[in-house]
Structures are given as structure tokens and as C-alpha cells.
Amino acid sequence: MFILSKKDWELPESAVTPEKLYRTHNRRDFLKTLGTGVAAAALLPRGLRAATGGFPAKENPAYPLSALKPTAYEFITSYNNFYEFGMEKSDPKEYANKGWKTEPWTIEVKGLVRNPAKFDVNDLITKAGGLEQRVYRHRCVEAWSMVVPWDGFPLAKLVALADPKPEAKYLQFKSFVDRKAAIGQRQGNLDYPYVEGLRLDEATNELAFMATGIYGKPIPNQNGAPLRLVTPWKYGFKGIKSIVQIEFTSRMPENTWAVMNGQEYGFYANVNPHVDHPRWSQASERVIGAGVFGGRQPTLMFNGYEKQVGALYKGLDLVRNY
Ligand code: MTE
């Protein structure tokens, strides 16, 4: 995967919203501060109003803001990997906000399910029972990390709506193709659409999450609007952005980075400090936003989520199944 030597993640201090704002305000106050609260949402034109549907979301007490030190909003939304919009970390924020439309948005659920369907994303959120907030660690295979307060719903809810047939063992996720809007797709820097996959039992694990927001606001385009996958025990490349299709299959599906470079990136991509990337160590990680001197910490097995997901991989050789 592309690695920058330049320290472009170190934004100037002035560009970063003081963390105090996030810590001392509850979510409702925070939304008011930003002028995107419920009352403000009611005044928005219909299209925009739909995109804010479900906010503010209620915190899931199992994954609270107080348990981890969340990364500042500005870092989460300006240091991104989204190759459809370029290969530099600063590219997605710039190029994903130049006329690319993420509302309205349709997601197709198909394959080995009893209820194949096409959903408008806002209807899907309602059908999945609305939004909740969860604060998760986010660890990229490039050995950097953040802590992100996501808003969204459990992927298990979508799986239940689809009602998989007994032969369904995997899910394949597909991202959008829009060569006109996406400069990286025009340049052909990867094979598109970007695809990812999960085993069905991974998809129904309590941690697997469909994110539609960050810090109580609709997810910005550069982070994968309007809907992206979040699997916090896996490297970030599993977290496919801007999903348009989910297909239930009986065979292990392809995933983009394993297709591009299978020697370095696999299907499982579980965070593992004991299995190094061929070109660098995975034992520790650079903490984005922690400053030049504050910024490295040991990487945890399954990114700290062994209790929730360890049983999924009992008996699996994690060195071979990287
Ligand atoms: N999804 C799509 N469609 N295209 C991408 O290039 N990059 C992946 C993942 N999802 C990517 C994607 C990678 S490598 C990472 S680390 C995460 O998104 C980054 O998510 P973030 O920018 O929200 O931190």
C-alpha cells in the first residue's frame, strides 16, 4: 500500500478543533454548536434533511466516548485513504467534495438471501432500527491509528433483513463506480469497483458496523458517505467506503488489496502485532493527531477486541491467514 514519508498528518495546531469541545459538550450540545442539530435539520431542504436522518444518535454504553481518547474531527476527516479520489492522504477531502453526489443513494442486497432488495440508504437506516454511536479504535495496515466516534447500525441488522439462505457463507461488498466524479478511477490507480468481503460469522459479530456518521454528523464524503463498513479488529482496508452492493455468496469473495498484491494483503486482515507486513513491523502504530513526540503506541491483538472476536478464529493459522 502506498506510504508517505512526509509527515502530512501533522496539521497545524490552529486547524484542529480543541478536543475540549468534544469532551465537555455532550453530543446534542456539540450538534447545536455546529448548527446541525435537530431544529436546524428541520429547516433544511428535503434532500439534505434526509441525509441527517437519525442524528443525534444515542451512545451505545458498551463503546462509550469516555473509554478511549477520540481523535479530533479534523484529523479523521482530512487524513484519509480513498483511492477513488487520489493516493495522497489529503486528496480525498479535496477531490471527494467536488461535485460527487452521495444523496440520494441506493444499496442493493442480493445473492443467497430470502429477501433480495434495493434500499434507499435513509430507509435502510430506519429499517435497521436507527442509529447508535460507538467509539472504536481504527488501525490501518500502514501502521497508523486513530479513535473514531462512529454513528451507524450493526451490520447484523442488515444481515437479518436480508435473511441469508443456509448456503450463504460470505458477504461481498462493492463500492461505487463513477469515472466522471472520481479522479482516481479515471487515472486507474486500482482496479475498480473497490471490493471487500467478510465471512458471514464475522459480519454478524457484534462489532461489525455500518457507519453513516462521525461525531454525530453525517459521514463526510472523504470518509465513505453515505455508508461504509467498520470492522475495528481488522486493518482499515477492510472498511470499504460508499457501498452500493452487498452480495451473499457461498465462496470466499475477492477483496481489492489481496487482488492487487496478495503477497502483502490477505482476506482476513486481522490486526496482529505478531505478524509483520513484509515491508514493516506491525508491533506498534503511529497515533494520528498525537503530535510529533507523543505519537507511538504498541499495537494490540485484534486491535484490542480479542474478547469479542477471538472465538471466530479458533484453530485458524493466523500467520498463513493474514
Ligand atoms: N474504500 C474504498 N472504496 N476505497 C479505498 O481506497 N481505502 C481503505 C478503506 N476503505 C478505501 C476504502 C483503507 S486502505 C483504509 S485505511 C480506510 O478506508 C481508511 O478510512 P478513513 O479514510 O476513514 O480513515
Whichever domain contains 243, its CATH number is 3.90.420.10
How far apart are the CA of 208 and the centre of ligand 1, in A? 16
Residue 247, all three cell numbers: 452480495
Q: Of 73, 146, 214, 241, which is best to mutate to test ligand 1, by the most ligand atoms within 8 angstroms of its C-beta?
A: 241
pLDDT tens across the length of the chain (322 residues): 753 333 333 344 334 333 333 333 333 343 343 334 333 333 333 333 334 556 778 999 999 999 999 999 999 999 999 999 999 999 999 999 999 999 999 999 999 999 999 999 999 999 999 999 999 999 999 999 999 999 999 999 999 999 999 999 999 999 999 999 999 999 999 999 999 999 999 999 999 999 999 999 999 999 999 999 999 999 999 999 999 999 999 999 999 999 999 999 999 999 999 999 999 999 999 999 998 776 899 999 999 999 999 999 999 999 999 9
Residue 8 forms part of a structural domain:
no
Contact predicate 227/220, CB 8 Å: no
Residue 107, all three cell numbers: 444499496
How far apart are the CA of 150 and the centre of ligand 1, in A? 15
How far apart are the CA of 235 and the centre of ligand 1, in A? 10
Q: Report which secondary-structure segment, H or E, holds 305.
A: none
Q: Which whole-number Å values give the CA distances from 274 to 9, 153, 260, in the listed order?
A: 26, 31, 24
Q: In whole angstroms, what is the distance from residue 296 CA to residue 99 CA?
A: 37
Residue 272 forms part of a structural domain:
yes
Q: In whole angstroms, what is the distance from residue 37 CA to residue 56 CA?
A: 7
Report the nearest-CA residue for atom 14 of ligand 1.
237
How far apart are the CA of 173 and the centre of ligand 1, in A? 13
Q: How many CB atoms lie within 10 A of CB 53?
A: 16
- The pLDDT, as a whole number, for residue 53 is 58
Residue 53 forms part of a structural domain:
yes
Beta-bridge partner residues of 99: none
Any idea of the CA torsion for 195, 196, 200, 204, to the nearest 10 degrees? -110
For the chain, the domain total comes to 1
Report the nearest-CA residue for atom 24 of ligand 1.
80
- The pLDDT, as a whole number, for residue 3 is 38
Residue 3 forms part of a structural domain:
no
Give counts: helices (H), strands (E), the chain. 12, 13
Closest ligand 1 atom to Cα of 146: 24
How far apart are the CA of 207 and the centre of ligand 1, in A? 18
Closest ligand 1 atom to Cα of 242: 3
How far apart are the CA of 43 and the centre of ligand 1, in A? 33
Report the nearest-CA residue for atom 16 of ligand 1.
236
Report the nearest-CA residue for atom 12 of ligand 1.
240
Closest ligand 1 atom to Cα of 223: 23
How far apart are the CA of 228 and the centre of ligand 1, in A? 9
Q: In whole angstroms, what is the distance from residue 6 CA to residue 181 CA?
A: 27
Q: How many CB atoms lie within 10 A of CB 86?
A: 21
| DSSP-assigned letter for residue 71 | P
Query: Pocket residues for ligand 1 (CB within 6 Å)?
Result: 80-84, 140, 175, 194, 223, 236-237, 239-242
Residue 107 forms part of a structural domain:
yes
Residue 4 forms part of a structural domain:
no
Q: Report which secondary-structure segment, H or E, holds 70.
A: none
CA torsion sign for 294, 233, 260, 188 is negative
Residue 117 forms part of a structural domain:
yes
How far apart are the CA of 26 and the centre of ligand 1, in A? 28
Report the nearest-CA residue for atom 11 of ligand 1.
82
Of 257, 57, 250, the residue nearest 151 (C-alpha) = 57
Owning domain of residue 238: 13-313
Of 261, 68, 237, the residue nearest 142 (C-alpha) = 237
Closest ligand 1 atom to Cα of 76: 24
Q: In whole angstroms, what is the distance from residue 209 CA to residue 35 CA?
A: 27
Residue 319 forms part of a structural domain:
no
